[in-house]
Every structure is written in C-alpha cells, then in structure tokens.
Amino acid sequence: MSHHLTETTSSTAAERERPSTTAPSAALAALVAAPVLVLVASLTQASPNAHDTASELASIAAAPGRYQVSGAIGWCAMVLYVPALIALARPLWRSRRRLAGIGLGMSMTGLVALISLMGSGPVSLAMAQAPERAAMIRVVDAYESAPLTVVWMLVMVLGFSLGPVLLGFGLWRSGFPLAVPVLLLLGLIVQMLDAGRWPLALGYALTAAGMTLVAVVTVRRRSLVQA
C-alpha cells in the first residue's frame, strides 16, 4: 500500500512539474488584443499618397496628431505581443517543444527588431515638421538604406512575420483548425503586397482573426478539461 502511495505521489509531482499547455486568461486576452491594436494603429495614421519618403513625410506633417496617436497605440500593441506570442506557443510546449522554441525565438527576436525600428518615430515626426524638407528626405533615405537598418528590417521580417506562421502550422499539426495557419499566412502575404491602406488593413485583420481563433479554441479546450 505504501508502494502504491509512493507511486501516486510521484506521478502527481511529475504532473505538477510539467509545463501547462494552457495559457493564462490574461495572455489569451493579449493574443486577441495585440493584433487588433496593430490594425487600429494602421487605420489611425494618415496614409501617404505614394510609397516614397517625400510622401510619407508630407502625410506625417499634415496630421502629426494622428501620427503620434498611431505610434502610441502601436507601442501598446508591441507590449501586449510579448504575452501574446508566449500564449501562441504555449500549446506546443509538450508535444512540439523544439518547434515552439524556434517559432517563439524567431517571433521575439523579430519583435525586438520591430520595436527598435519604431524608435525612429519621434525623429520622423521632427523631420516632417522641419523647414528643410529636401534635406530631411535625404537623411531619411540614408537612414533607411544604412546596413544596420537593413539588417534590422530583415530580422523583423524573418522573425516577427514568419515566426507566428511557423507556430500556426505547429498548432495545426497539434490539433488546432487548419484555418489558424491559413489565416496567419494569408495575413502575412497580404501585408507584404503593400497594395495600399485597405489591403494592408485586411492583412492585419486576417492575422488578428488567426490569433483570435487560437485563443477561442484554447478557451474551449480548457472548458472541456474542467468539465
């Protein structure tokens, strides 16, 4: 009897040591809110008439308040993306730990790169409001073509963009709906097309839908286990 009790106690302790595959409710809320805030930030900022530095600075100068509000919303989204990405990888911690580690590592590294690039926002605002617009355009072009900036952009694209998609395919292989990786991949493709304000918003919306689906399925699974 004591041997049976020892085995039961050992198995219970082992279960407690295993990492939970269910993210906390706050992290799941962040998983929904973070991509939605990115969409809101995109729609808040005034859109440039063309994809060149002169048009971008002109759009910022025309609506500096909207630019700053958009930046603040985007910063909040980046903060929420930390627990959100952890929640996205959490269901894979037991069944596909290596994939979860790679996908989460890519996503977090890309997130850091994106936040670093966002740090130039106040500088862009100052340049847009400076009287020497032609000189400011040359400075921005030089900054964006600098090797370190290009590296940060590549890290952002490869990490923050592809990391969640990789996690999405891992979730599908672990029993989540196929719609999860499909929505995340379509969202990335539409965003990369850079076809204008509303197609970009559609890309963000698709990403938000994919992450929201993960949160919904996770909550439903938790409810079934508790029942």
Could you tell me the residue ranges of all domains in the chain? 32-226
Q: Where residue 14 falls among pLDDT bands split at 50, 70, 90?
A: very low
Q: Is the pLDDT of residue 214 over 70?
A: yes
Predicted TM-score of the model (pTM): 0.85
Q: Which residues contact 99 (CB under 8 A, 6 or more apart)?
A: 92, 166, 167, 170
> Distances in Å between the alpha carbon of 138 and those of 113, 119, 219?
23, 19, 51
In sign, the C-alpha dihedral spanning 123, 126, 128, 134 is negative
Residue type at position 193 = L
Query: Is 204 in contact with 39 (CB distance < 8 Å)?
Result: yes
131-174 pLDDT tens trace: 888 999 998 889 888 998 899 899 998 999 999 999 999 999 99
- 93 SS3 class: coil
Nearest to 161 by CA among 192, 194, 182, 183: 192
pLDDT tens by residue, 180-199: 999 999 999 999 998 788 99
Rounded average pLDDT over 88-113: 94
Whole-angstrom CA distances from 124 to 43, 110, 115, 120 are: 18, 21, 15, 6
Residue pair 59/49 in contact by the 8 Å Cβ criterion: yes
The structure tokens listed for 62 are 């025309």
Average pLDDT over residues 114-136: 88
- Percent pLDDT > 90 in the chain is 60
% of the chain at pLDDT higher than 70: 90
Cβ atoms of 100 and 167 within 8 Å: the answer is yes
222 vs 2, residue with greater confidence: 222
Per-residue model confidence (pLDDT) at position 67: 93
Res 225 pLDDT > 80: no
Give how far Cα 85 sits from Cα of 12, 46, 57, 59, Å. 29, 28, 32, 32
Tokens linked to 59: 């759009």
pLDDT at 13 over 50: no
Question: What is the crossing angle of helices 64-89 and 162-173, to 10°?
Answer: 30
Q: Is the pLDDT of residue 10 over 70?
A: no
Q: Is the pLDDT of residue 9 over 70?
A: no
Mean pLDDT computed over 23-43? 95
